[in-house]
């Protein structure tokens, strides 16, 4: 995991060893021109503006401020990076006026890169998540439907779509007691046996 996460953060290390500067929590978003904004209805949206000017022009049109990026604070990529907090304030005020669904529709029409930010109640209802069958379920004998996220591992192209609901606390007590009683009756140290099994 350490190897994977180190490589996942390659930009931070490359920047440190080439420029001698430690990146902070907002360094990467500011350089990549990425924004997370709260919409009306308390839902969030993400924008990844990158460099093409057509994205910025489209965004200005969508928020009803077509001259926004003529402002010296936001006219160039470097200006936007230097004035990131002020730009977030301006965009934040605009995005608070409409719902996330409205913004997604308007931004899509102008070809502005965006994505709704889902919470856990929404994420698995996304069409792509449904297509991938990420949400799986099984019936628990007393609790009803048990739902969870499937394993991401596929074998021979087959997804693991079956799940066994977890037992209730104490559901296996009788079975465990019977196993321990059987072990004692046969002169077996059950605790040592379990320790050996766990070690194996």
> Of all residues in the chain, what percent carry a pLDDT higher than 70?
94
Amino acid 21: pLDDT: 87
> Of all residues in the chain, what percent carry a pLDDT higher than 90?
70
Residue position matching structure tokens 């693991």: 160
Topology given in CATH for the domain delimited by 33-117:
formyl-coa transferase, domain 3 (3.30.1540)
Amino acid 198: pLDDT: 47
Q: Residue 48 in contact with residue 58, Cβ under 8 Å?
A: no
Amino acid 23: pLDDT: 85
Residue 42, judged by CB atoms within 10 A of its CB (0-12, 13-18, 19+), counts as exposed
Taking residues 41-66, report their average pLDDT. Answer: 94
Q: Residue 9 in contact with residue 65, Cβ under 8 Å?
A: no
Where helices occur in 33-73 by DSSP H, the ranges are 53-62
**Annotated domain spans of the chain:** 1-28, 33-117, 120-186
Q: Residue 40 in contact with residue 96, Cβ under 8 Å?
A: yes
Q: For the segment 66-75, what is each residue's pLDDT rounded down to a tens digit?
A: 999 999 999 9
- Tokens found for residue 182: 């059987």
The answer to whether residue 199 scores a pLDDT higher than 50 is no
The answer to whether residue 193 scores a pLDDT higher than 70 is no
CA distance 139 to 166: 10
Half-sphere exposure of 163 (CA within 13 A, CB side): 20
Q: For the segment 118-167, what is each residue's pLDDT rounded down to a tens digit?
A: 999 999 999 999 999 999 999 998 889 999 999 999 899 899 999 999 88
């Amino acid at each position: 995991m350490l190897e994977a996460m180190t490589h996942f953060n390659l930009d931070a290390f490359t920047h440190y060893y080439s420029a001698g500067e430690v990146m902070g929590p907002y360094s990467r978003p500011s350089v990549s021109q990425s924004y997370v904004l709260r919409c009306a209805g308390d839902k969030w949206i993400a924008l990844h503006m990158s460099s093409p000017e057509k994205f910025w022009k489209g965004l200005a049109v969508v928020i009803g401020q077509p001259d926004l990026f003529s402002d010296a604070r936001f006219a160039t990529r470097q200006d936007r990076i230097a004035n990131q907090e002020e730009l977030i304030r301006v965009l934040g005020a605009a995005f608070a006026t409409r719902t996330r669904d409205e913004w997604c529709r308007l931004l899509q029409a102008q070809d502005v890169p965006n994505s709704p930010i889902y919470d856990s109640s929404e994420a698995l209802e996304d069409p792509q998540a449904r297509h991938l069958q990420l949400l799986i379920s099984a019936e628990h004998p007393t609790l009803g439907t048990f739902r969870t996220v499937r394993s991401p591992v596929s074998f021979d192209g087959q997804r693991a779509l079956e799940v066994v609901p977890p037992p209730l606390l104490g559901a296996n007590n009788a079975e465990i007691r019977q196993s321990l009683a059987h072990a004692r009756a046969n002169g077996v140290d059950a605790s040592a046996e379990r320790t050996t099994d766990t070690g194996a």
